Amino acid sequence: MNPLIGIVTSTEIEQETYFTSTDNVNAIIRAGGIPILLPYYQHEKTIEEIASKIDGLYATGGYDIDPTLFGEEPHPKLGTIIPERDHFEIALMKKVLVLDKPILGVCRGSQTLNIALGGDMYQDIYSQKNSRELLQHQQKAPNKHGSHFVDVKEGSLLNRITGETRLRVNSRHHQANRKVEKPLQISARASDGIVEAIESTKHRFVLALQWHPENMLVANDLASEAIFKGFIAACSGNE
Ligand SMILES: [Mn+2]
């Protein structure tokens, strides 16, 4: 049986549509999963039911995150937030973590995972860190282009599934994780110190990347292929 993969959808500010990119859907299908697009349920019981039905959770990119969720007020550079998505996504993650089902997060998904496990984040790296020392993390190149490098921690899940200690990745974020606490560990950083990947040391497969492997897969990037293959294998119980 191919595993059912819940994908948290995106929306616009007035929430007239739910959607996700075809790159997200195709990445899951290509690796052997069946994508199920999820709207923003708010009831505890329903969220619990979804967690029990899916075999894995793919937390995709999207808008910024409500800073009150990690004890801060909005910074002037904070972008659009969708409170219903934040609530649903973080509540679903917490339930999926309890069941120890696999999670793959990308971009925004790496912030929501960190917050679900007690961490926090920069609302805007360019004003909250010394911006003269930062790389360009909002690339102007096409989405599939790897614009900067990340160094991968040896022995980490990310290292084991890709077989690499250095990856070339795309970059479309102005936020980033800051405090990362157990059971999470940092599994990749950019050369400017920005946290680019986190993973759980306690769960079977919980990995979140600040970049977008679903876009790099379009250019047949081998590491991106290995990431989605590894995720779907874990969701099938075939690690
Ligand atoms: Mn980056």
List all residues 6 or more positions away from 160 whose beta carbon is below 8 Å from its beta carbon.
none
Query: What are the residue numbers of the active site?
Result: 107, 212, 214
Quick one: what percent of the chain has pLDDT higher than 70? 100
CA 176, 114, 105, 12 torsion-angle sign:
negative
Long-range contacts, 47-52 (Cβ 8 Å, 24+): 47/88, 47/91, 47/92, 47/95, 48/95, 50/6, 50/92, 51/92, 51/95, 51/96, 51/98, 51/99, 51/101, 52/99
Burial profile 7-19: b = 16 or more Cβ within 10 angstroms, e = fewer: bbbbbeeeeeeee
Global confidence as pTM: 0.97
| Distance in Å, CA 1 to ligand 1 centroid | 35
Q: Are residues 215 and 169 in contact, defined by beta-carbon separation less than 8 angstroms?
A: no
| Distance in Å, CA 173 to ligand 1 centroid | 6
Q: What tens digit of pLDDT does each residue of 88-103 get?
A: 999 999 999 999 999 9
Question: Which residue ranges form the domains of the chain, and what is each CATH number?
Answer: 4-235 (3.40.50.880)
132 pLDDT higher than 90? no
